[in-house]
Chain A
Amino acid sequence: MALLKIQEPGGEPVQPLHRLAVGIDLGTTNSLVAASCGFGVETLADSDGNHLLPSVVQYSAAQPPLVGVAAKAQLISDPANTIVSVKRLLGKSLSELKAGNLHLPYEFDPDRPDGSPAILTAGGSKDPLQISADILSELAHRAEDRLKGSLEGVVITVPAYFDDAQRQQTKDAAQLAGLNVLRLLNEPTAAAVAYGLDTQDQGNVVIFDLGGGTFDVSLLSLQKGIFEVLATGGDTSLGGDDFDQALAKWIQEQAPVAEAADASSYWALLQCANDAKHQLSVDASVEVNWRGCSLALSTETFAEITADLITRTINTCRRVLRDASLSVADIDSIVLVGGSTRMPVIRRAVESFFGKPPLTNIDPDKVVAIGAGIQADVLIGNKSIDNSFLLLDVNPLSLGIETMGDLVEKIIPRNTTIPTAKAQEFTTFKDGQTVMSLHVVQGERELVSDCRSLARFELRGIPPMVAGAAKIKVSFQVDADGLLSVSAEESITGKKSEIQVKPSYGLDSAVIEQVLQASREHATADKEIRSLKEAQLEASQLIDAISNAQDVDGDLLTEPESTRLAAAIKQLKTAMTGAASKDIRALTEEVNQLSGDFAARRMDLHIGQALRGESIDKIEQ
C-alpha cells in the first residue's frame, strides 16, 4: 500500500513507511507464503492460482531444481531424485535417523564429514539445508513477483516442539536462500495470532496443530491483544504421513502382493493410502483399489488402524493441560490447524476429549502462514506500537547441563516464558583444575545419554584452587526466537567465555518426543538410576579420600582398625557394582563410621604440626 508523499516545498522527501516482509509456513508436506495486502494479510498464489506449494524438490543433472507441483508429479516415476518431507530430516544426523523409525527410501551420502543426512541425487549430494533453501527460494520468488519488490525480511514458522538444532538449521536454510530472518515463530502461536486477531476472542485457547509430519499442541491465554503461551507440547515425528503409513500397512495386509518392494511401488502404495484418507474426510466409507483388490474402508476401521496415533495426540493434550495447571473445563475454544485435522477421526477425538466441538471455520492450511505474515509486518516496523499485538512464547524443552556421572542438572525448565535468563553456580571437582568443560543438553530425562545434546564448550584459565573452591557462574539466555546462548564467568578472576549453541552432529541421542514420552514412562526408573549413581559416586569419593589419607598417615591406624576398615571397604566396593543403592548407602555409612576416629586423629596431628610451625609470639597474641 503506497502512502501519499506530502512534502514541504523544498523539503526532504518522505520515505514510504511500508517495507516488504512476508510470513512463510515451511511445512512438511506443503508450504505457503503470506503478506500484508492492504486489506489484511493473505496467502499468495502462483501463476496457476495455487496457494499451497508442495514441499517437494526434484533434482536433475542438467537443469535447475524443480520445486512444487511439477516436482511432486515426478515422485512415482523418479523416486530417487524427488525429495519429500525434508523437514523430517532437519537438525538430525544420519546416524540418528537410521536408529529411528523414518521410512524414506533415499540413498544417503555416507561421506559427509559433519554426519548430516544428505541425499545422493542426479544433481549431486543434497543436504536438508540445501533442499529447504530451494523451497524457501521458490516462495521468496513468488512473493517478490506478486508484491513487485524485494523482500526485506521474513518470519518463518517452526513446530513449537522443534529443538535448538532444528531451529538453527531452519534459520541457516533461510540464510542460504538469501533471506533475512526476522523471527522464528512457533506454528501454533502463529495460528493463534491469526485466529485471535480475526475473532477478537479472549480466554484460554488450545491450538491443536497436526501437519504432514509434526504435531504441536499449545495452550494460550488471549487477553486484549496479548497472546501468552501457557504451555506447549508435541511430537516432531507425528503427522499425516504416519496416518498414511498405518493405512498403507493395512492395505498391504488386506491385499498382499508378492512383488519387489522398490521405491516406486512404495510411493504408489502411499499415494493410494493418502487418496483413501482424503476421501474419508468427505465420505463415511471408501473403496480402496490396490493391485486388483477392492477393499472397503470405513471411518471406524480407519480409527482402529490409527488408534495409537490418535491416543498419542490426546495424551499430549493431557500433558499440556497439566503443565499449565488447567483442566478441560478451563478451555474456552479449540482451534484446529494443519491439513491433517480435516480427518473426522481426529475431530471426533478432540471433541470427545475437550467436551466441546473444535473450531473449524478457519482454513487449517493457511492460518499459520497468515499469522507469520502478521508478525512479519510488526517486526519489520510497519505497524506502530498502538495497533500491534504482543506474543509471549515459551521454550518447549528443558535445558540442562551435564554433571558428574552422566546426570543432568536442569537449568531452565520447559514452558518457561521467553526471553529468559538463568544463572547457576558450578565448581571444580579436582584440586588445581584450570579448565571446565560444559555440555548443554535439552530434554526431560535424568541421564545425559537420554537427552538431546546441544553443544559442548570450555572455560579456560580457572585459577588453580582446592577442589570446590572456584565459583563459576554460568548464564543461560534464551532469546525470543527460542535460541540459546551461554556464557560462563569465574567469579574470582572475572574470566569469561561465550558461545552460540551449535547443533551437535554425530551423537546418538533420542528424538524429542521420544525423549519426553519416554521420560514419563521412565520417571520412576530414572529416579532410581539417579539415586544409584549418586550413591556410587559418594562411595567412590569416600574410598579415594581414605586411600589418600592412608598413604600419608597410615601409621595412625592400629592393625585391627586397619583390617576392619579394609574389610568394610571391600564390601562397599562389591555393593557398588550392584544396583541396590540402599546397600551402598548403608555400607558407605559404615565405612564413614569406621574411619571417623582416623579422621579425628589426622586433624589433631595436622593442627598440632601447624601450631608448632608458628612462632610463640604469634600464638600468644
Chain B
Amino acid sequence: MQHINKNYFQLFNLSESFDLELDSLAEKYRQLQAESHPDRFANADEQDKLRAVQLSSYLNGAYATLKSPIKRAGYLLVLNDRDIERVEQDELGMDLLLEQMQLRESLSELPDDESALPALEKIKQEVMTKLAVRQQEFASQFDKGELDEAKKAYHELQFLNKLLVEIEVGEEQRLGY
C-alpha cells in the first residue's frame, strides 16, 4: 500500500486547529476529488488506477474526519500522540459524572409514548447548547496547547454526541418511524 505522507490537515492545506470553514473545506474536497477519483483514470494503467483508488479513499476518510467536529477534535488529539480510546479516571471530573448521570436519568424516566416529545425536545436543546459550549472550550484549550484539558473536553463531547443520537432515536421511535 502506497504511503500517503500528508496528514488530513496538510492534505487540505489547513493549519492544525479546531476552527475551520466548512464551505471552503467542501470546495477543496470537490477540487481534490475531481483530480484523484478513479473515474478520472478510466484509461490509465493498473498501477495508476490502484493509486487513484488509494488516494481517493484516503481523501474521503480525511474529509469525513475534518467535516465532523467530534472526529476533528479526536484527530487533533491523535496527531499530538494522545490515546483517545482510553479515558483516565482523573479525566472525568465529579461534576461531569454527575451531569452525565442526571441527563441519563431524565431520559430514562420519560414515558414511551408521544407525550414525552416536548420533554425530549427540551433535553435535546440543552444537550446541543452544552455541545456548542464544550466545542468552543476544546478549540481554545487546544490552540493554547492545554492538551490534557482539551482531552477532557473531547471525552465530554463524545458523551454528549452519544446522548444526542439516543435522543433522536427516542424521538423517532415515539413517532413510529
A interface residue numbers (CB < 8 A to B): 182, 223-224, 226, 228, 315, 318-319, 322, 378-381, 385, 390-392, 416-422, 475, 477, 479-480, 520, 523-524
Distance, CA A241 to CA B33, complexed state (A) = 39
B57 contacts A477, C-beta separation under 8 Å: yes
Q: For residue B53, which residues in chain A have a CB less than 8 angstroms away from its CB?
A: 419, 477, 479-480
A228 contacts B173, C-beta separation under 8 Å: no
Q: Quick one: closest A residue to B40, CB to CB?
A: A385
- List which B17-57 residues lie within 8 A (CB) of chain A: 30, 33-34, 37-40, 42-43, 53-54, 56-57
B60 contacts A226, C-beta separation under 8 Å: no
Distance, CA A410 to CA B159, complexed state (A) = 19
Kindly list the 5 A-B residue pairs having the minimum CB-CB distance in the complex, ordered from nearest: A421-B57, A381-B43, A417-B60, A419-B57, A379-B42
**B9 interface contact, C-beta 8 A:** no
B173 contacts A523, C-beta separation under 8 Å: yes
**A222: shortest Cβ distance to chain B, in Å?**
11
B177 contacts A315, C-beta separation under 8 Å: yes
B56 interface neighbour in A315, A379, A381, A419, Cβ under 8 Å = A419
Q: Can you list 25 pairs linking A and B with CB atoms under 8 Å apart?
A: A182-B42, A223-B30, A226-B33, A226-B34, A228-B30, A322-B172, A378-B39, A378-B42, A379-B39, A380-B42, A381-B43, A390-B30, A391-B39, A416-B64, A417-B64, A418-B60, A419-B56, A419-B57, A419-B60, A420-B60, A477-B53, A480-B37, A480-B39, A520-B169, A523-B173
**B61 interface contact, C-beta 8 A:** yes
**B75 interface contact, C-beta 8 A:** no
- From DSSP, what is the main secondary structure of chain A's interface residues? mixed
Q: For residue A422, which residues in chain B have a CB less than 8 angstroms away from its CB?
A: 61
Q: Quick one: closest B residue to A226, CB to CB?
A: B30
**B55: shortest Cβ distance to chain A, in Å?**
9
A390 contacts B60, C-beta separation under 8 Å: no
Q: For residue A475, which residues in chain B have a CB less than 8 angstroms away from its CB?
A: 1
B177 interface neighbour in A223, A385, A520, A524, Cβ under 8 Å = A520
**B34: shortest Cβ distance to chain A, in Å?**
6
**B83 interface contact, C-beta 8 A:** no
Interface residue tally for chain B (C-beta within 8 Å): 24
Q: Quick one: closest A residue to B56, CB to CB?
A: A419
Q: For residue B38, which residues in chain A have a CB less than 8 angstroms away from its CB?
A: 419, 479-480
B57 interface neighbour in A378, A392, A420, Cβ under 8 Å = A420
**B43: shortest Cβ distance to chain A, in Å?**
4
Distance, CA A223 to CA B58, complexed state (A) = 22
**B154 interface contact, C-beta 8 A:** no
Distance, CA A381 to CA B39, complexed state (A) = 10
**B148 interface contact, C-beta 8 A:** no
A416 contacts B43, C-beta separation under 8 Å: no
Distance, CA A418 to CA B172, complexed state (A) = 28
Q: Quick one: closest A residue to B38, CB to CB?
A: A480
**B63 interface contact, C-beta 8 A:** yes
**Which of A421, A422, A523 has the most chain B CB atoms inside 10 A of its CB?**
A421
Known interface pairs A380-B42, A418-B60; 13 further A-B residue pairs with C-beta atoms within 8 A, sorted by A's residue number: A223-B30, A318-B177, A378-B39, A390-B40, A420-B60, A421-B58, A477-B53, A477-B57, A479-B38, A479-B53, A480-B39, A520-B172, A524-B173
**B99: shortest Cβ distance to chain A, in Å?**
22
B61 contacts A420, C-beta separation under 8 Å: yes
**A523-B169 contact in complex given A378-B39, A419-B53, C-beta closer than 8 Å:** yes
Distance, CA A418 to CA B43, complexed state (A) = 20
**B146 interface contact, C-beta 8 A:** no
**A215: shortest Cβ distance to chain B, in Å?**
16
B39 interface neighbour in A223, A390, A421, Cβ under 8 Å = A390
**B168 interface contact, C-beta 8 A:** yes
A417 contacts B173, C-beta separation under 8 Å: no
**A392-B40 contact in complex given A420-B60, A524-B173, C-beta closer than 8 Å:** no
